Amino acid sequence: MSKIISGFSKLTKQEKIDWLSKNYFSSQPEIIQTLKQYWNADEKLQQLHDDFIENTISNFYLPYGVAPNFVINGNHYVIPMVVEESSVVAAASLVAKFWSTRGGFKTEVISTTKIGQVHFMYQGNADDLKRYFNQQKENLFNATASITKNMEKRGGGILDIKLVDKTDKLDNYYQLHVTFETKDSMGANFINSCLEAIAKAFRKEGVEIVMSILSNYVPNCLVRAEVSCKIEELGGENPQQFAEKFRQAVQIAEIEPYRAVTHNKGIMNGIDAVVLATGNDFRAIEAGAHAYASRNGSYSSLTHCEIKNGLFRFWIEIPLAIGTVGGLTALHPMAKLSLDMLQNPSAPELMQIIATAGLAQNFAALRALTTSGIQEGHMKMHLMNILNQLQANREEKELMVAYFKDKTVSHSAVVEKFNELKK
C-alpha cells in the first residue's frame, strides 16, 4: 500500500488523524485518544493554534515556568521560561536571588541593526554595475515606500543599501547588502518584503537575481549583560579560589571549541526558554548566537570573566534579533501573558532580559561544574521524571523525594528503591 497521499492539507483534522492512524498506527488505536487529549476544550482557542501552521492535529505541551527575583538595572522581574529540562528554571531562580543581593544584573543594548541581502549574479563590467547601482539607489528606496511607511512612523526603516562585490569568492556574485532598523518588531516579514521590492526594482538585463532574504547573522543587534561584586561577597568557604576556578572555566570555553559548544548550550538553555515564552523565533536566535560565537574564526564562549583589583566581573555579549510586537507576540495568548509579566518591554528591553537569563544560566552551570558538579542538582530535579516514568502515585513520590533528599539519585537507585517500596 502506498503511503504517499495527495491533498492531505485539504482533509479535515479528523480525516488527517484517521489517515495517520490507519497508515502508521494500525496496531495502536489509542493514539487517537492521546492526540485528542491535548486538544483545547475552548474551540476558538484551539482554532487559533490550528491556524499557526499547516496540518495541525494536536498540541504539544512544554512546561511554562517562572523564575522570580531578577533585578535588572534596578528593576525587578519575574522571568517566564518555556523549557523541558528539569534544572533550568530552578537554576535561574537560584542565581537571580544570589545576584539580587549583590547589585543585580547590569545590561545595555549596544546596537539594534538588522541585515538583509539581495544575492545576484552579474557577468558584465564591475564599474558599469557600480554606476548602475549609484543611479538606481534612490529608486531602490522609493520602491519600498509603501512597505516602509508605517515602520518609518515608528522611527525605523531602511538605513542603507550597499553594493558588495563578492566575485573574489564566487564568479559573478554580487549582493545588495541592506541594513534595517525594525524598532520593536523582529522585522523578518518587513525585511523580506523590502528586499523583494528592492530586487524587483534592481532588475535589468544581465542582473540575475538569485534570492532575496534577511540574514539571521546580526552582529550589530547586540546586547550585553553583566554581574560584578567584590570577591569576598561571592561567599562560600574560599571565594578567591571559587572566583579563580570560575574564571578558568570561562577561559577554557574561550579557547576550546569542544567545551565552548557545551558552555554556550547552557547559555541557550536560558535564552531559548525566554525566547519561546515570549513567542519569538528561537531558531533565528540560535543560528545568530552560534555564528557570533565563531566570529573570530574559532568557536568560542559567549561569556567572559575578569578578576581585577579584588572585583569579580562576569558578562555576556550576544546578538538577539527579537520582537515585542508582530509575529506570535500578540497572537499567542501565552506569549502575550509573558510580555505582560515582563511589564510589556520594548524589543531592546526584552533583549536585555533575555541576555540576563542566558548569563544567569551560565553562572549556575559554571558554579555547579567548578564545585560539586552538575549531576547532584540535575538528578535531584530529574527524580520526578523517573518517578513519573514509573507511574508513581502522589504518596509514593513524597516518600521517594524524602528518601533521596540526602542520597545520590541515579536511575537504577530510584528503580531499586521504588520496587522495594512497592513490595
Cα angle 12, 17, 22 (rounded to 5 degrees) comes to 125
Cα angle 198, 200, 204 (rounded to 5 degrees) comes to 115
Residue 285 contacts residue 321 (beta carbons within 8 Å): yes
Closest to 82 in 3D by CA, of 329, 276, 242? 276
Interface with ligand MEV by CB under 6 A: which range of 66-74, 126-134, 167-175, 265-273? 265-273
What is the closest distance, in whole angstroms, from the C-beta atom of residue 244 to ligand MEV in the complex? 18
Q: Which is nearer to ligand MEV, 262 or 419 (CB)?
A: 262
Binding mask 9-38 for ligand MEV (x = CB under 6 A): ------------------------------
- Interatomic CA distance for residues 153 and 190, integer angstroms: 14
Closest to 380 in 3D by CA, of 60, 94, 67, 80? 94
Q: Would you count residue 209 as binding ligand MEV (CB under 6 A)? A: no
Please state, as a whole number, how many other Cβ atoms lie within 10 Å of the Cβ of residue 62: 12
Q: Would you count residue 263 as binding ligand MEV (CB under 6 A)? A: yes
What is the closest distance, in whole angstroms, from the C-beta atom of residue 87 to ligand MEV in the complex? 8
Binding to ligand MEV, residues 349-388 (CB under 6 A):
365, 369, 374
- Interatomic CA distance for residues 128 and 141, integer angstroms: 20
Sole binder of ligand MEV in the list 80, 104, 266, 288 (CB under 6 A):
266
Q: Which is nearer to ligand MEV, 65 or 103 (CB)?
A: 65
Q: Would you count residue 252 as binding ligand MEV (CB under 6 A)? A: no
Interface with ligand MEV by CB under 6 A: which range of 7-15, 51-59, 100-108, 259-267? 259-267
Please give the positions annotated as active site: 85, 265, 281, 378
| H and E: helices and strands count for the chain | 15, 10
- Interatomic CA distance for residues 197 and 143, integer angstroms: 6
Residue 263 contacts residue 253 (beta carbons within 8 Å): yes
- Interatomic CA distance for residues 344 and 82, integer angstroms: 18
Angle, in degrees to the nearest 10, between helices 347-369 and 257-277: 140
Q: Which is nearer to ligand MEV, 207 or 383 (CB)?
A: 383
Interface with ligand MEV by CB under 6 A: which range of 257-265, 275-283, 322-330, 407-415? 257-265
**Residue 205 corresponds to which cell in the numbers above?**
538585463
Q: Which is nearer to ligand MEV, 269 or 278 (CB)?
A: 269
Q: What are phi and psi of 409, to 5 degrees?
A: -90, 125
Q: Which is nearer to ligand MEV, 195 or 250 (CB)?
A: 250
Q: Would you count residue 85 as binding ligand MEV (CB under 6 A)? A: yes
Q: Would you count residue 270 as binding ligand MEV (CB under 6 A)? A: no
Number of residues that bind ligand MEV (CB under 6 A): 9
Q: Which is nearer to ligand MEV, 174 or 312 (CB)?
A: 312
The site for ligand MEV (CB under 6 A) is made up of 85, 262-263, 265-266, 269, 365, 369, 374
